Amino acid sequence: MDNKGKVETLLAQAGHYLDKQTGAVVPPIQPSTTFARDEQGDLYDGNRIYARDQSVNTEMAEAVLNEMESGAACKLFASGMAAATALVQTLRPGDRLVVPTVMYWSLRAWMITFCEDWGIELAFYDPADEANMDAAVKAAPTQMLWVETPANPTWEVVDIARAAELAHSVGAQLVVDATVSTPLLTQPITLGADFVFHSATKYINGHSDVVAGALITAKEDERWSKACSIRAQLGGILGPFESGLLLRGMRTMHVRVERACENALALAQHFEGAPGVKAVIYPGLASHPQHDIAARQMTGGFGGMLSIRFEGGVERTAKIIGQLKHFVRATSLGGVESLVEHRALIEGPDSPVPDDLLRLSIGLENVTDLIEDLEQAIQAASEAS
């Protein structure tokens, strides 16, 4: 979809929902686990049989996401991990998967074990180095290239159109984890990606009260039908109640994402070069190494995620996070409330994340409150040391 006005109308009206019988503007939740047949044995709507793979509310939310992403089809899963792992499980023994060194930590950990167990070659590339990515993809026959952009939690930005060309030049397919860029700021399929993946737990739902995942495909090919079968057979579909909540969250997605982007940019600009701050990592800053790619690829904002590295190492960083009053010390991202996390300590000793880095998910609070909160925490940590 190339018309922002249309996206906003689509979202605000929950996919243009209106119940012609009652005039209701909010879709009801349909919890039935089974769907009846008529006297001739035909299904009432010719489509749904059983709720392990079919749900009225899930389909409503899928239709909206699919339209936003200009996809051929969309499936919602019970979590982001359920969606991502369904796609990776379509690979066969002997296939090769190329993934970034910087990506969502739990997915990376799962991929390492899964690929080892199932005889799939797993190769890594540095998402900040295009030549390194080229070399990794071309080193051996590759079936799937995985991109996460911006990449959690150091926000490297990958040129999706370039990655698509690279993948296709060797007969591979490109998957883009666009959780942080949201379906509003980047549409990977229009840039050449074969599959888009979202942890819908984040910005798509936006209220920290639903765990969900989404896959959107550019075409309904063999890999897509395999991923759909995995959802159907393993029962990883999103439930009707969660789907209803997800669609409700999506009705304000454009307003939430716009405000999160504005707040994040203001915060990043304020703290870049501030005393005690070693670096601010945010794709919207001119100092970001891939700012030019982000400016081209992310339309309407640079997202609500940023990281700050502090002078004084892990100890001072731990003091700063402990002093915050408005930021909530919790994992996850993309909700209305601002969250902060000391990622290296959460991920443990094998974490590649610098231990002086705090990851911030910027919410919809008053940005002056957020700036003042971080300022007082930096000040208090300086006084304590």
The catalytic residue positions are 52, 104, 177, 202
Using the rule CB under 6 A, which residue among 58, 143, 181, 201 binds ligand PLP? 201
Residue 103 in contact with residue 133, Cβ under 8 Å? no
d(CA 144, CA 122): 10
Piece of 76-84, 158-166, 257-265, 363-371 that binds ligand PLP (CB under 6 A): 76-84
- Least distance between ligand PLP and beta carbon 84 (Å): 6
The amino acid present at 33, given as its one-letter code, is T
Write down the least CB distance from residue 341 to ligand PLP, Å: 10
Which stretch, 73-81, 135-143, 220-228, 289-297, contacts ligand PLP (CB under 6 A)? Answer: 73-81
Across 254-293, b (16+ Cβ under 10 Å) vs e yields bebbbbbbebbbbbbebbbeeebbebbbbbbbeebebbeb
Residues 279 and 306 sit within 8 Å (Cβ to Cβ): no
299, 260 Cβ separation under 8 angstroms: no
CB neighbour burial string for 134-152, b if at least 16 within 10 angstroms, e if fewer: bebbeeeebbbbbbbbbbb
Does position 367 interact with ligand PLP (CB under 6 A)? The reply is: no
Q: Is residue 211 part of the contact set for ligand PLP (CB under 6 A)? A: yes
Residues within window 79-108 making contact with ligand PLP, judged by CB under 6 A: 79-81, 104, 107
Pairing verdict, β 173-177 and 195-199: parallel
Nearest to ligand PLP by Cβ — which residue?
Answer: 80
- 179 part of the interface to ligand PLP, by CB under 6 A: yes
Q: Where does this chain touch ligand PLP (CB under 6 A) — which range of 63-71, 78-86, 184-192, 343-351?
A: 78-86
Stretch touching ligand PLP by CB under 6 A, among 109-117, 176-184, 288-296, 372-380: 176-184
β 339-341/357-361 pair status: antiparallel
**Alpha-carbon distance 104 to 127, whole Å?**
13
Q: Which one, 176 or 324, has the nearer CB to ligand PLP?
A: 176
Q: How far is the CB of 263 from ligand PLP (least distance, A)?
A: 19
Task: For the CB of residue 106, give the shortest distance to ligand PLP in the complex, in Å.
Answer: 6
Q: Is 346 helix (H, G, I), strand (E, B) or coil?
A: helix
CA dihedral 125, 278, 257, 67 (to 10 degrees): -10
Biggest CA–CA distance in the chain, Å, is 79
Q: Which range in 112-120, 163-171, 177-185, 340-348 contacts ligand PLP by CB under 6 A?
A: 177-185
Sheet holding 173-177, edge to edge: 73-77, 213-217, 195-199, 173-177, 144-148, 96-100, 121-125
Q: Which of 159, 177, 242, 356 binds ligand PLP (CB under 6 A)?
A: 177
Extract the tokens encoding 140: 């051996």
Question: Between residue 115 and residue 174, which ones bind ligand PLP under the rule CB under 6 A?
Answer: 148, 152
Residue whose structure tokens are 């840039």:
191
Contact track, ligand PLP, 303-332, x by CB under 6 A = -----------------------------x
Per-residue binding letters, 261-300, with ligand PLP (x by CB under 6 A): ----------------------------------------
181 makes contact with ligand PLP (CB under 6 A): no
Paired tokens of 17: 């929902």
Question: Which CB atom, from 86 or from 377, has the smaller least distance to ligand PLP?
Answer: 86
CB of 285 to ligand PLP, least distance (A): 20
**Under rule CB under 6 A, how many of the chain's residues touch ligand PLP?**
15
Q: How far is the CB of 69 from ligand PLP (least distance, A)?
A: 16
Strand arrangement, sheet containing 277-281: 277-281, 305-310, 357-361, 339-341, 328-329
Residues that bind ligand PLP (CB under 6 A): 79-81, 104, 107, 148, 152, 177, 179-180, 199, 201, 211, 213, 332
